[in-house]
Structure 1
Amino acid sequence: MKKTLITRFFHIRMLSGSCCRYKKVQPSVKSKNVSSHDWLTRQLSDPFVEMAKKYNYRCRSAFKLIEIDDKFKILLPGNVVIDCGAAPGSWTQVAVKRVNANLSDKNGSQGTVIAIDKQLIYPIEGASIFENMDFTEQTSQEKLVNFLGSNRADAVLSDMAPSATGIRDLDRENIIKLCYSALKFAVIVSKKGASVLVKLWQGQEMLDLQRDMSRFYDNVKIVKPNSSRSDSIEMFMLGRGFKGLR
């Protein structure tokens, strides 16, 4: 009964405002070349790209999770963590170390890290990987629930983002749908006191998501780590202290 009510609530939220008229935008070759040049210049001058190489992280996004966890302590030894949209795996790498899933600390509690993505994820020691699977599909989530068994998650992480269309309103709508998909799943699989972390983009929808997340978590806040580029509209919403389901 609880699961039915939760599903109904999130179904309504994910469909609201879904009617959107747009036209197809065909970028010019010139704009693509300029964009690629700007991206390459930014990468070469980005200290976090170099740090990722130094510490053997698969991409710079690892430091976003590191910053957030250093401040809010959402990943602890022995925790069960689910990383949604994990490819190429940098957040999974961080989670494995923080919860001791690879037993790097022989005397510490061993955690569990589960990573899922539509793309290929090369093996990460200490992580259970579900690749070539769309997290947003019910069958994929059922497989994760079955894998968890009697365990419950201490943290659900989502660095998921949709493929950009170039249409701002449509892109924001699509990423919000991913946020609600992760939130709904977190509510179903989390233990009391757990955390959820999702990526989103700046916009009015942030306030709606924050309000809805507050129904299930004691503390909800918007976070912008230093390693998230200042010119990026990317933000993260963190919910801590899952209230549990009554």
Structure 2
Amino acid sequence: MVLIHVVRGFGTTMRHLKSVKLKKVKGASSHEWLSRQLTDPYVEKAKIMNYRCRSAFKLLEIDDRFKILRPGFVVIDCGAAPGSWSQVAVRRVNSDGSDPKQAQGLVLSIDKQQIFAINGATILGNLDFTDVKSQEILVEVLGGKKADAVISDMAPNASGFKELDNENIIKLCYSVLRFAVQNSRAGACLVVKLWQCGQAKQLENDFSKFYASVKYVKPNSSRSDSAEIFLLGRDFKGLKN
């Protein structure tokens, strides 16, 4: 097992979307995606601020409102690729030590895809978070520490069947929930992405068993035509012996 603690920066570059000629794109869905990218202010903003993708702003909005990330916190980013949420977490918990006056946190980023280096994050690439062995590696890297925040922007690959996709993302949410309640300190928080569906209410109820405050969040940067929402659990109650 090889664990890489990243100690160097990583600069991203992004192809200028305005140079793409839509007439060369085949397929209506591809055309719609590119059109949306060209008019999305968060895409350009992500480029300017050197975030790997626009999803960074969803976590920024959640944290600005609910203060779930603080200097010195231990954060686990589940399904982290390409790494924009980890970039936000690194800055907010000071895991790169950029502010010597603040406590230095820890960010663990795991995904079954490879994640390019992020200064201040411990990268666990090519590991499927839902696999028990991958979670054992995470616990080993934690070295006895407990998480202050477990965050997940994970989503399954679309199958084209809405009910199946909803079932699959709920399964991902429960996988993160189970890990979080076993590896978080009392008072910690949990954020997972899901889609608006019939199973969401049961997930909310199960969150409430472990977190004192549970609510749905829809950041402004989450596209209005998207069914995605985020479930936020705060103030982890801890596990009773």
* TM-score, scaled to structure 1: 0.87
- Counterpart code for 2:88: V
Any stretches of 5+ residues in structure 1 without a counterpart? 1-31
**1:214 maps to what in 2?**
208
Q: What is aligned with 1:228? A: 222
Q: Which residue of 2 aligns with 1:141?
A: 135
| Identical aligned residues as a percent | 65
| Structure 2 residue aligned with 1:179 | 173
Gaps of 5+ in 2: 1-25
Matched, 1:120 2:118: no
Matching residue of 2:85: 91
Distance 2:156 2:77 in 1: 16
Aligned match for 1:163, one of 151, 157, 160: 157
The Cα of 1:116 is off from its aligned counterpart by 0.2
Q: Deviations over 1:205-236 (max 9, x none)?
A: 11000000000000000000000000000000
Q: Measure, in 1, the Cα distance between the counterparts of 2:114 and 2:51.
A: 16
| 3-state SS in 2 of match to 1:38 | helix
Q: Distance in 2 between matches of 1:150 and 1:180?
A: 23
Where 1:207 maps in the other structure, the secondary structure is helix
1:150 Cα offset (Å): 1.5
Q: Distance in 2 between matches of 1:230 and 1:150?
A: 41
Aligned CA RMSD, in angstroms, stands at 0.6
Q: Deviations over 1:113-143 (max 9, x none)?
A: 0000011100000000000000000000000
- Runs (4+) of structure 1 exceeding 3 A deviation are none
Equivalents in 2 of 1:203, 1:151: separation in Å? 35
Q: Mapping of 1:43-122 within 5 angstroms?
A: 43-122=37-116
Q: Distance in 2 between matches of 1:80 and 1:168?
A: 35
Across the two proteins, how many residue pairs are aligned to each other?
A: 215
| 1:185 maps to amino acid | F
Amino acid at match of 2:86: T
Shift of 1:106: 1.2
- Higher-helix-fraction structure: 1
